Each structure stands twice: as C-alpha cells, then as structure tokens.
Structure 1
Amino acid sequence: MADGEIKDGDRCEVVAGTHAGKSGTVADLKTSKTGAVTITVVQDTGERFKTLAKNLRAVEG
C-alpha cells in the first residue's frame, strides 16, 4: 500500500502479517524513523492493534 492511500477513519482489512484476516477502522498513522508507516486499527469490538501499512488493504464501507 502506498503512503497516502489510507487516512484516519477509513475502513481497512489486514491481508498479511500477524493480524491477517482482521478488519476495522484506521485510528492512527505514524511514520517511524526508518520510514515504515505503522497504523493503529480499531476493530468493531473496540479491540485495537498496530500493523504496518503495507499489510493493509482499504475496503469500501
């Protein structure tokens, strides 16, 4: 996923990594010193987790 494609409030689905198969709403985007973009995702249940932007896919709705 290219930087800038997703923003706070967007719905997303995790397609790779530890949280693959989970989905939720983007709550926080951060760029690390090394340039990796990390995103906090809030699931519908309220559970939060962090993942890399490259592991996400934006979804409609």
Structure 2
Amino acid sequence: MNGTEKQIKDGDFCRVTSGTHKGKSGTVQDINLSKTGHITITVLQENGVRFKTLGKNVAVTEK
C-alpha cells in the first residue's frame, strides 16, 4: 500500500492484487506485524476458506 490508499482494518472487504492469491477477495480478519516489519493479514473468503497474505498485496474495495 502506498500513502494514497486507505489503511486496512478488521472487517474491511479487500481484493488481492498481487502474489500467490492474486484475484481472490474477502474480509480482513486478522492484522499482524511480522518480526521482519511486514504487515500480514488473514482474509476470509465468502466460501469460508481463509488464507494469509501480505498487506501490501491487497487493496480495500467495496463488496
């Protein structure tokens, strides 16, 4: 995320824009700061499947 994008918070709907899970979307459930300083999030898809990704790989969108 760059400075012009909205900050991620729990409950936001997001779409993954890059990385392994590119194209998937869902609700942000858990936000953590890793030991290396990267923001990691857990995304819950509508089908109930969860996955983890980096915060820089997602964009907050409207559902």
Assess same fold via TM > 0.5: yes
C-alpha distance after superposition, 1:16-49 (max 9, x if no partner):
0000000000000000111100000000000000
1:33 and 2:35 matched:
yes
The aligned counterpart of 1:14 is: 16
For 2:10, the aligned partner's letter is: D
Taking the aligned partners of 2:62 and 2:16, their CA distance within structure 1 comes to: 14
Give the 3-state SS of the residue equivalent to 1:49 in structure 2.
strand
Q: CA RMSD in A?
A: 1.6
* Superposition TM-score, scaled by structure 1 size: 0.93
Unaligned runs of 5+ in 2: none
Identical aligned residues as a percent:
60
Stretches (4+) displaced over 6 A: none
Would you say how many aligned residue pairs link Structure 1 and Structure 2? Answer: 61
